[in-house]
Amino acid sequence: MIALSSIALDPASGLRRESPRPPELRNAAYDAGFDWDTLFYDCYRAGRYVVLQGPPFLNLLPALQASAPLKPSWFGGLRYVVRNKRGEIWCRHDGDMLTLSGPVGTYQLTIQPDQASLFAGRRVIHTLSKDNAPRWIRDWLQFYHAEHGADAALVYDNGSRLYSAADLQTELRAAFPAMVIHVVSWPFRYGPQGGLAGAVNGVEAPWDSDFCQTGSMAHARLRFLRDAKSVLNVDIDELVLSDKGRSIFEATEATRHGFIKFPGQWISGASPDPIDHEPCRHADFTHRALAETRECPPKWCVVPARHDPFGTSWSVHNLFGSRHNRAIDSEFSYRHMTAISNSWKENRGIAGQFDPADYREDPALVAAFARAGLASHN
């Protein structure tokens, strides 16, 4: 399994991360969800550099910059990255250990290896997941392997309680022996929600405190995926299709800028046949509501080597910092499967009533399921 060199702030230091959200805008769930004390998610090599990576440093930055050996004047090539929910320190260091000492506290970190070679030249699907049913993750892998030619997967497990990251990795590797598959245990707080889920007195909250997923993407990009041929960022409940039958990986690699952003469409939780949520599969759901009002923010595929890791940031729905991140490609879209969810954010269970007059079947999705050999649970 992949090892992380993580650090939580020592209470004796008297420090903790200050929230970027004013107290009057925090709902009752905010304090329990915010990451007050993770200093670094990991410490690892990335090419010539050692990267100490964590949530945004915010008020912790002065204490870090006054600590040995992270004073800007002490290390040649020392660089701080503080942007887009990222906190990184890049430095040069030849040893296997790094000792941090000063106002931030005293810590010894093992420098984890650069593992970009694991995915070099691969077409990788990447996601963050928690307690998703293994059968859903297997269907997701099978779809992208068959439909788009994915030959690798990097899954970040955000503290699942139903299985361990090691057990999930073993199961997925056994099911897909031809693919390179790694599951990284990423047990950090996801962070408080924005929008209506984080609302106070009906006022939507900003998306300013959810650091975990952005952190996992930065970690994946820098430690593992720098040399990947291309990377597709999608959730377990999202299946990408092309109007022209093309692979999203091939299409992205053929673009001038190595980046494609595409929209999504909801696939309803309703089905013509009665279905229990417990055994349901992706292929149980092939219909769209005629009067769908929910929006699907875009997702993306990227060629990592064509984008500067200092100037651009991978985010859930965009490549921040890129001059080419505004265009939406109409050839590709993802099907967002309502019922393939454990409803961690909102109730997305299976609808109890199906009226054919309110839905239409998605023939492209039906055909894709057939090509991938994905069947309903019945």
62: cis peptide before it, omega within 30°?
Answer: no
Beta-sheet pairing, 42-46 with 38-40? unpaired
pLDDT at residue 184 in the model: 98
Q: Which two tokens stand for residue 22?
A: 């004013």
Q: Report the pLDDT value the prediction gives residue 159, as an integer from 0 to 100.
A: 96
d(Cα 349, Cα 63) in Å, to the nearest integer?
46
Q: Give the model's confidence band at 258: pLDDT under 50 very low, under 70 low, under 90 confident, else very high.
A: very high
Which tokens is 97 given?
């250990």
The Cα 210–Cα 214 span in angstroms is: 8
pLDDT digits (tens, 9 = 90+) for 340-359: 988 666 566 777 668 889 99
* Euclidean distance between CA atoms 165 and 328, whole angstroms: 34
Over the chain, what is the mean pLDDT? 93
Both tokens of 243, joined, read: 């109007």
d(CA 88, CA 203): 32
- Over residues 54-75, the pLDDT tens digits come to 999 999 999 999 998 887 655 5
C-alpha 201/C-alpha 343 separation (Å) is: 23
Residue 93: φ, ψ to 5°: -160, 130
Question: How far, in Å, CA of 120 to CA of 101, rounded?
Answer: 36
Bigger pLDDT: 84 vs 116 = 116
Alpha carbon distance 354, 351 (integer Å): 7
Q: Flag whether pLDDT at 276 surpasses 90.
A: no
**In this structure, are strands 238-242 and 152-157 parallel, antiparallel, or unpaired?**
unpaired
Average pLDDT of span 82-102: 92
> Looking at the predicted structure, is the pLDDT value of residue 277 above 90?
no
Helix (H) or strand (E) holding 147: helix 134-148
- 188 in Cβ contact with 7 (< 8 Å): no
Which residue in 353, 349, 347 sits closest to 276, CA to CA? Answer: 349
Written as one string, the DSSP assignment of 323-349 is: TT-S---SSEEEEEETTSS--SSS---
Instruction: Report the pLDDT averaged over residues 94-98.
Output: 93
The b-or-e profile of 242-279 (16+ CB within 10 A means b, else e) is beeeebbbebbbebebbbbbbebebbbbbbeeebebee
**C-alpha span between 84 and 86 (Å, rounded):** 5
- 300 against 199, higher pLDDT: 300
Q: State the pLDDT at residue 130.
A: 96
Please state the rounded mean pLDDT for residues 322-331: 92
Question: Taking residues 8-12, what's their average pLDDT?
Answer: 94
- Residue 378 confidence class, pLDDT cut points 50, 70, 90: low
**What pLDDT score does 343 carry?**
64
The Cβ of residue 166 has, within 10 Å, a number of other Cβ atoms equal to: 12
Q: Are 296 and 152 in contact (CB under 8 A)?
A: no
Closest CA to 241 of 366, 377, 128, 374: 366
Contact call for residues 198 and 93 (beta carbons, < 8 A): no
Kindly indicate the confidence band of residue 247, based on its pLDDT and cuts at 50, 70 and 90.
very high
